[in-house]
Amino acid sequence: MTIVRSAVFMLWFALVSVLFNVGFLWALALPRKVTVLASRGWSRWTLWGLKVIAGLDYEVRGKMPARAVLVAAKHMSMWDTIALYLILYDPAVILKQELLGIPFYGWYARKARMIAIDRDAGARALRKMAEAARGVIREGRPVVIFPEGTRKKPGAAPDYKPGVAGLYGQLDVPCVPVALNSGLFWTGPGGFLKKRGRIVVEFLSPIAPGLKRAEFMAVLQERIEGATAKLLKEGRAQLAAEGRQ
């Protein structure tokens, strides 16, 4: 049944994506906030379909962060970007430069003022990223970064990149770590399988600005990985219970 539910959800996902991507092209000619509303609508209907069709819901734990903060989140699946964009207030997500070249997705991301980074540009890319992020913070919006730079399988060894520390030092705002267990439920080749259950995303205690780079990186990794390990254990128990029903 998981395969059937997953297939039906993918049809729903494709339908919603076409309707919003094509149906809201006119929003690209209007103020940015119109595009943001359209993008949030896409996220909302995607997650609604995930719950109703695939039986996969989510739960938010911890204190929601203030608006102008750096959010550093674990990254396991596409679900993370969809859900965090809806949960947070108008976030600017740091993403790969090449994603802006994808038709429709790139157009909306550019209009919504996401922060793109060219990984091959070295220090220059980091300076541009920090400059764009400071502009976002001045607007009272959160900046979201996935500090490992890519999706990681549940339980994989952590690999935190230094870019998050550079951004933390430049922005001089609290950094809110985020743990989650989405990779247990949004899984399979290409993320096709959607298992019944409840994804948990947890906002952890903020890290105050001013720490030295090494100390910050150690605290960030310890908080995210420690909380993620607990959520993975909880999620595996949930999946085991579901399998016994």
pLDDT in tens, 28-63: 999 999 999 999 999 999 999 999 999 999 999 999
Question: Which tokens hold the place of 92?
Answer: 């600017």
Secondary structure of residue 146 in the 3-state scheme: coil
Contact (CB, 8 A) for 125 and 33 = no
Domain ranges of the chain: 57-244
Q: What is the pTM of this model?
A: 0.94
Residue 244 pLDDT more than 70? no
Segment 113-139, tens digit of pLDDT? 999 987 766 677 788 889 999 999 999
pLDDT of 233 above 60: yes
Question: Taking a C-beta distance cutoff of 8 angstroms, is the pair 49, 9 a contact?
Answer: yes
